Structure 1
Amino acid sequence: MSTKAGQELHENVLRIDSRSQTWNGITVADVHEYTKGEVQHSLLNDEETGIAMALEEVGGVTEPRLKPGQACQLDHKPNHMTLVPRGMQLWGHATRGLHYSRYALIRFDLGTLEARFEEEFRPNAFARPRMRFTDTRIHSLVRMLIDIPQGEPSSTLLGDCLTSAMFAILSSETGEVPEATKLSQHNLERVIDFMQSELPRQIELRELAALVGMSQWHFARAFKAATNKSPYQWQLEKRTDLVRQLLLQSDAPLDVIATLAGFCDPMHLIRVFKKRTGETPGAWRRARR
């Protein structure tokens, strides 16, 4: 997590803590801002296409502005979002009583997105500003994205799936997402064979989608329709099965098992294993040996 304080901030901003991660050409920053009075500063510059989303506001409210002295005419709503295209700057204004706010900054690399989504990429969806709109689906997806631990490579598929879903919603002209169709049995077997053979390597969603000639978004939904699991959940389940096997068949310590099963460290392994089995790896091993 990075922290800004002192001279590099607006005089009424005490501190800003932030961390960011990137999936699929979409960078999501989780920002915590501590203030002591009325504040106004830039959120997104004119070289970026992005969204600012309010997550928490304590003591007052935040307001998006396209110009520093021009108030937003739309009513405040919880978890409001503002999208600005490249060529426009977005300013954040905080009322005097606000002393803490948490918000997400979502930056889109449109070149990467166009290359990955091809015919599903609709640049017009990102060509005009949208002020103080809300969407519970996007809010939920962003919440899940910022909850992914920093630098956890095993969550590549999860981040890919969530950002693909967010991009599809934003790109839809109506905001509606059509019902998913299942992967054919042939394509499902092909994908599963590939995922199984690649364990525990962290696979990207675009690799799986390319196997069956589908876009990432359509593939993720078709896979879940066929298996009742997202690609990430399926992979996590198989990696947990691998941990069980290693616990039973070897005396290897947890740090070695974590590496062999594709977890970033023993604590990550313990957290995932306990959530899925109800026991720590050590307790599970002792009870069965």
Structure 2
Amino acid sequence: MTVAMPIQQRPRSARRMDVPGASLQLLPGASYAVRVTPSRPRIGFAFETQRGLHAFGSDRLKAFQASANSMAYTPSGCDIVSHSETGGEYLVVEFTDPLAQSGSEQFTGRVIPQSIDIARLLRCWLLQMDPVDPLETEYALERLKASVFGCENATDGTIEPGRWMTTRRLKIIEDEVEARLNTQVSVETLACALGLSSGFFSRAFKEATGKPPHDYIIERRLARARLLISTGEQSLAEIASACGYASQAHLTSQMRQRLGLTPGALRERS
């Protein structure tokens, strides 16, 4: 049973899909407050940086920050309390088999590079909401479970103090990207914001988030474009320009490649 305590109304509704072996849900980037005890094991994937307070199996709330591309796993029966004033786009995969990975321990804020492309594929399916081949879903879910529960190259998305890309430095980069989304923001520009060479910055950023900085820039541009398409009245050409794209065609190409649908199709479904 889930008891939601919204801080403010979500601008867009969550998308849900039941597939063989799991239930998928894509939560929009918005403030939230939730208390839930899942009856089935679940994996969560943050497409955007998450900050707020949470607790697992306890009422003692702790401040958290997990980077974009980080994951969480909660076994069935583990109480979850979480809230954030900003939230972020988030994928929830709840396995229909209550015994799936029943021996695994809860974790949060872990970056698992092998899982990122799988999570993005599941997001495509949720955005398109078209029938999916059961064999494809089974294969994707098995790959996801293998990457999460058999991972050897996972890094901690909460960014421990000993790592160079600290929480404060990552926040500087995130703010810089958001402020420059309507321009041709470059990796060199971001590196300069921290007084680093592009090479060192790229390596540090990838270690912290699981993906290189140019990939993060693309994801943020598309997130801004999706928000404007779903909630605004600007033309698609104006939206493309506002998100740093040289043309509407460039936005269309990148959105189709990453999300599996065009800006026009997204507007029709909003």
Question: What is the TM-score with the length of structure 1 in the denominator?
Answer: 0.35
- Rg bigger for which structure? 1
Question: What is the TM-score with the length of structure 2 in the denominator?
Answer: 0.38
